[in-house]
Amino acid sequence: MASQVAQNRMSQEETAPAHHDSSNGVKQSDLEKPAPAEPPAPPSTSPGPPPNGGLVAWLQVVGGFVLFFNTWGMLSTFPVFQTYYESGELFEASSANISWIGSIQCFLLQLTGLISGPVYDRGYLRLLLLAGSFLVVFGLMMLSLCTEYWQALLSQAFCVGIGAGLLFVPTVSLIPTWFSTRIGLAVGLASSGSSLGGVIYPIVLSRLIAQVGFPWAVRSVAFIALATFVLPLAVLRMRVRAPRPRAVVDWSAFRDAPFMLFTLAVLVVFIGQTVLLFYVSFYPANRGLTDSGLAFYVAAIFNAGSTLGRILPNALSDRIGVFNTMAPLTLLMGVALFCFLAVRNAAGMVVIAVFAGFLSGVVIALPPVCFRVLTENKAMIGTRVGQGFAIAGLGLLLAGPSAGTILGTAEPLDWTRLWVYAGATVCASSLILFCLRLMKSGLVLKVKC
């Protein structure tokens, strides 16, 4: 009986909850301890497969369309600025010096990717959108007040160029994270915004310069940009974020032969493409192929032609591979540049502008897709894209001034050497792309090449 009582007492002591006594240091039972709060999980670099469609995904394409409209679309307006500045109504400067404005603007759009890419990887998309939008609009407003060459250089080249750079790399880094099998089509549709901008902005600018003068024409362009920037601020969302801060430069990229070879190809093709962009309006005006009014519209015609060049080749690349698409079309673009030498009238100028515009769309729309294909770690895509475009941007910096120097200052201008220079660089780029296609690299052969 006593043994049974002792066993019952021991059983009660084992099942009874223990109490904490601060005087004797007895700890509370685990049964009475509250469950510890779990720390929040860090952002995942792989949140699951891309939706590859749906409302939110296609809204990213719409937002990217608007950003392309106000970045590359704005830069595509420079032929109108080049032609207007050449007239000497605002300031006196040589063709080479005027080209520095557009070249620096294009170069900074690419170079700023060294900053905007890693900042995007850290998750600060909205900050980049706000800062970039402000700088583009502010730079245009300051340009409307300019009366000297150096003022236009600061406002248009530096301010607008840096603002566009803060917007461009995040755009081409964001859209591929929402798509898998239709990346080419999605990026192509978004990049076609630059074609629409290259049609609307030159027409608005050329018409308003004649009606209300240069200052209010530029302000009107700034107001259009300000209104359209609201949409991407409202709809753009990030899916993939790097788990920890990352270096501005991915040094492993310099040991990645396919990546560096493709970057070299983009650098070289940017030289020829920029020469085409800057002088497509001034060439027919100077040669007397068109009157001054139609010369302004040639830029809009050229950019209209590039609209399909940014959509159809990208859609085709989803089926046959990005390098199979870009290499031959780049070669055709080089041939088209040589064909400018055979133009003798306005009709021929319009035809070659449409054809060259279609092919030039490939140079803007396909490289972001190629950079993504050549980046195994998709969480590094912002850094890799920014780094690649920053290096390739050297071609944009060199193109305008070197073309202006080749063209000369004494009439008649040396257009033959200019178009040979542009065509040769683009053909050289296509050869590099064909070599990349034939490389026995496992990274390249994993994709549809």
Residue 295 sits in a domain whose CATH number is 1.20.1250.20
Is position 191 within any domain? yes
Domain-embedded: residue 297? yes
pLDDT of residue 111: 84
Which pLDDT value is given to residue 83?
A: 82
pLDDT at 190 over 60: yes
pLDDT band per the 50, 70, 90 thresholds, residue 11: very low
| Structural domain harbouring 292 | 55-235+247-445
**For residues 439 and 441, what is the distance between their CA atoms, to the nearest angstrom?**
5
pLDDT at 181 over 70: yes
Residues 177, 74 contacting (CB under 8 angstroms): no
| C-alpha atoms less than 13 angstroms from C-alpha of 62 in its C-beta half-sphere | 14
**Per mean pLDDT, which range of 67-81, 122-136, 236-250, 358-372 is the poorest?**
236-250
Residue range 199-217: average pLDDT?
90
- For residue 15, being part of any structural domain is answered with no
In-domain check, residue 28 = no
391-441 tens-digit pLDDT: 888 888 888 888 888 988 778 888 999 999 999 999 999 999 988 877 744
Q: Which amino acid is at 169?
A: V
Residue percentage of the chain with pLDDT more than 90: 30
- Angstrom CA distances, 449 to 49, 226, 441, stand at 23, 41, 11
Q: How confident is the model at residue 372 (pLDDT cuts 50, 70, 90)?
A: confident
The backbone torsions φ and ψ at residue 359, rounded to the nearest 5 degrees and listed phi first, read -70, -30
Tell me which amino acid residue 197 is: G
User: Residue 140 in 3-state DSSP?
Assistant: helix
Residue 236 pLDDT > 60, yes or no? yes
- Asked whether residue 66 is assigned to any structural domain, the reply reads yes
* 1 band by pLDDT with thresholds 50, 70 and 90: very low
- Decide if 345 is inside a domain: yes
**HSE-up (13 A, CA, CB side) for residue 375:** 23
Structure tokens at 274: 């920029």
Give mean pLDDT, residues 291-307: 82
Q: From CA 141, how far away is CA 425, in angstroms rounded?
A: 35
In a domain, 386, yes or no: yes
DSSP codes of every residue in 167-227: HHHHHHHHGGGG-STTHHHHHHHHHHHHHHHHHHHHHHHHHHHHHH-HHHHHHHHHHHHHH
Tens of pLDDT, residue by residue over 97-145, are: 888 998 899 889 888 877 887 788 788 889 999 999 999 999 999 999 9
Give domain status of residue 165, yes or no.
yes
* Rg of the Cα atoms in the chain: 28
Ordered DSSP codes for 59-102: HHHHHHHHHHHHTHHHHTTHHHHHHHHHTTSS----HHHHHHHH
pTM across the whole model:
0.72
Structure tokens at 132: 């970039």
Supply the DSSP symbol for 37.
P
Q: Which pLDDT score, from 0 to 100, does residue 42 have? A: 43
Give the burial string for 398-425 (b: 16+ CB within 10 Å, else e). Answer: bbbbbbbebbbeeeebebeebbbbbbbb
CB atoms within 10 A of CB 146: 19
pLDDT of residue 340 exceeding 90? yes
Average the pLDDT over each of 174-188, 360-374, 435-449 and give the range with the smallest value: 435-449
Specify the pLDDT at position 443: 44
Considering its fold, how many domains does the chain have in total? 1
pLDDT above 70 coverage of the chain, percent: 84
- Token readout for 148 is 């000297």
Question: What is the per-residue pLDDT across 268-278, written as a single tens digit (0 to 9) for each?
Answer: 999 998 889 88
